[in-house]
Amino acid sequence: MPPTSPSEKQAQRLKYAFIFPALFLLIALNIFPLLYNIVLSFSNAELSGGDWQFIGGDNFDTVFSDARFVTAIRTTSLFVFAAVSIELILGFILALTLNDTFRGKSFLLTLLMLPMMLSPAIMGLYWNLILNGHYGILNQTLAFLNMGQPQWLTDPDLKLLSILFVDIWMWTPFMMLIALAGLQAIPRYLYEAAEIDRASQWTTFRRITLPLSAPLLFLAVLFRTTDALKQFDLVMAITGPNDIATQTLSALLYQVMLREYKIGLGSAYALVILVVVIALASLFIRYIDVIQRRQGRTAA
Q: What is the pLDDT of residues 9-31, one digit of tens each?
A: 777 778 778 888 888 888 788 88
pLDDT above 80: residue 184 = yes
Specify if 259 maps to a domain: yes
Separation CA 300–CA 296 (nearest Å): 6
Band of pLDDT at residue 93, cut at 50, 70 and 90: very high
Give the Cα separation of 69 and 164 in Å (integer).
Answer: 20
Residue 264 belongs to domain with CATH number: 1.10.3720.10
Domain count, the chain: 1
User: Does the residue 278 lie in any domain?
Assistant: yes
Q: Provide the total of helices (H) and of strands (E) in the chain, helices listed first.
A: 14, 0
Question: Based on C-alpha coordinates, what's the Rg of the chain?
Answer: 25
115 pLDDT more than 70: yes
* Helix ranges (DSSP H) in the chain: 6-26, 32-40, 58-65, 67-98, 105-117, 120-131, 137-144, 156-184, 188-196, 201-204, 210-228, 233-238, 249-254, 263-299
Query: Phi and psi (nearest 5°) for 231?
Result: -55, 120
- Percent of the chain with pLDDT strictly greater than 70: 96
In a domain, 172, yes or no: yes
For residues 64 and 160, give the distance between their C-alpha atoms in angstroms, rounded to a whole number: 24
Residue 117 belongs to some domain of the structure: yes
Domain membership of residue 13 (yes or no) is no
Would you say how long the chain is, in residues?
Answer: 300
Q: Is residue 140 part of a domain?
A: yes
- Domain residues for the domain of 85 are 63-299
Is 49 part of a structural domain of the chain?
Answer: no
Residue 281 falls within a domain, yes or no? Answer: yes
